[in-house]
Amino acid sequence: MAMLHTVNKSPFERNSLNSCLTKSKEGSTILLIEDAVLGALKGTVIADKLTTAMTTKNIYVLGSDLNTRGFTEADILDGIKVVDYSGFVDLVAEHANVQSWL
């Protein structure tokens, strides 16, 4: 089982998403929560980086945090999957361990 990584900070302000992307292994899963969901939007300066990451890693976003900030599934990059809290719990259970990039 691969590892689950959570990231909770906007990549436009903090470096934790970048750290996670460079220090996570191929086949691992990254879940964007809280302000990190803003990094999933289309047309941003990090869109290409995320699209490249998606070729080797699974990227998810917590839907309620997206909605909270005024966005929906339609606003995010193709290939990023949306989960609710129940799906968040499933991701934690399905992966061998979890690391929160703070």
Binding positions for other proteins, rule: CB under 8 A? 2-3, 6, 8-9, 15-16, 19, 22-25, 28, 33-35, 64-65, 84-86, 88-90, 92-93, 96-102
CB-wise, 46 or 63, nearer to other proteins? 63
Structure tokens at 27: 């086949």
Structure tokens at 83: 């989960």
CB-wise, 26 or 78, nearer to other proteins? 26
Closest distance of CB 45 from other proteins, Å: 20
CA 9 from chain centre, in angstroms, equals 10
CA 90 from chain centre, in angstroms, equals 15
Query: What Å distances lie between residue 97 and 18, 43, 71, 75, 91, CA to CA?
Result: 20, 32, 29, 30, 10
Closest distance of CB 43 from other proteins, Å: 25
CB-wise, 22 or 78, nearer to other proteins? 22
CB-wise, 42 or 68, nearer to other proteins? 68
Closest distance of CB 38 from other proteins, Å: 13
* Cβ-proximal residues to 81 (8 Å cutoff; 6+ apart), any chain: 58, 59, 60, 61
